Structure 1
Amino acid sequence: MMSDEVLRNVREAGLSWRAANYSQFQGKKLKDGLIYKLGTLPLSRETARLGPIIYDKDIPYPPQFDARQHWKNYISPVVDQGWCGSDWAVSLATIASDRFAIQSNGAEKVILSPQTLLSCNSKQQQECRGGNIDTAWIFAKNHGLVDEECFPYKAKFTRCPFKKRGNLLTDRCVPVVPQRTSRYKVGPPGRLVKEHDIMFDIMQSGPVQAVMTVYQDFFHYQDGVYRRSHFGNNELKGLHSVRIVGWGEDNQDKYWIVANSWGTAWGEDGYFRIARGENESGIESFVVTVLSDVTEAYLRK
Structure 2
Amino acid sequence: MYQGRVYPTFGTYQDNCNRCTCKEDGQWECDQEPCLVNPDLIDAINRGNYGWTAGNHSVFWGMTLDEGIRYRLGTVRPTSSVMNMNEIQMVMSPDETLPSAFSASNKWPGLIHEPLDQGNCAGSWAFSTAAVASDRISIHSMGHMSPALSPQNLLSCNTHNQHGCRGGRLDGAWWFLRRRGLVSNNCYPFSEGDHNGAAPAAPCMMHSRHMGRGKRQATAHCPNSRTHANHIYQATPPYRLSSHEKDIMKELMENGPVQALLEVHEDFFLYKSGIYKHTPASLGKPERYRQHGTHSVKITGWGEEIQPDGQKVKYWTAANSWGPTWGENGYFRIVRGANECDIESFVVGVWGRVGTEDMSPHH
Q: How does 1:146-225 map to 2 (within 5 A)?
A: 146-155=183-192, 156=195, 157-165=201-209, 167-172=216-221, 174-175=228-229, 183-193=232-242, 194-225=244-275
Amino acid at match of 1:98: D
Aligned residue in 2 for 1:256: 316
Higher relative contact order (CA 8 A, sep 6+): 1
Matched, 1:16 2:42: no
> Judging changes above 3 Å, is the alpha-carbon distance between structure 1 residues 32 and 70 closer, same or farther for their aligned structure 2 residues?
same
- Map of 1:9-88 to 2, 5 A cutoff? 9-58=44-93, 59-88=96-125
Gaps of 5+ in 2: 1-35, 196-200, 211-215, 223-227, 283-287, 307-311
Structure 1 residue 297, shift from structure 2 partner: 4.9
Are positions 1:285 and 2:345 aligned together? yes
Deviation of 1:90 after TM superposition, in Å, equals 0.6
Larger relative helix fraction: 1
Sequence identity (%): 40
Letter in 2 for 1:45: S
Shift of 1:208: 0.3
For the residues of structure 1 that align with 2:137 and 2:250, how far apart are their CA atoms? 18
- The residue type equivalent to 2:297 in the other structure is V
What does residue 31 of structure 2 align with?
Answer: none
2:237 corresponds to which letter in structure 1? P
Match of 1:99 among 136, 139, 145: 136
State the SS of the aligned residue for 1:130.
Answer: coil
Question: Which stretch shifts more, 230-239 or 49-58?
Answer: 230-239
2:302 paired residue number: 247
Q: CA deviation at 1:289?
A: 0.6
Q: Displacement of 1:72 after TM fit?
A: 0.7
- 1:275 equivalenced with 2:310 (yes/no): no
The structural deviation recorded for 1:64 is 0.7
List, as ranges, runs of 4+ consecutive aligned residues in structure 1 with deviation greater than 4 Å: 173-176
Letter in 1 for 2:247: D
SS in 1 for 2:302: strand
8 Å Cα contact 1:98/1:206 also seen in 2 = yes
Evaluate the alpha carbon distance shift between residue 188 and residue 234 of structure 1 in structure 2; reply closer, same or farther with a 3 A threshold. farther
Aligned to 1:141: 178
Cα-to-partner distance string for 1:43-84 (whole Å, 9 max, x where unaligned)? 211111111111131321001100011111100111011110
Q: Could you say which structure has the larger radius of gyration?
A: 2
Say which is worse superposed, 120-129 or 163-172, in terms of deviation: 163-172
What's the C-alpha RMSD, in Å, of the aligned pairs? 1.6
How much has 1:15 moved relative to structure 2? 1.3
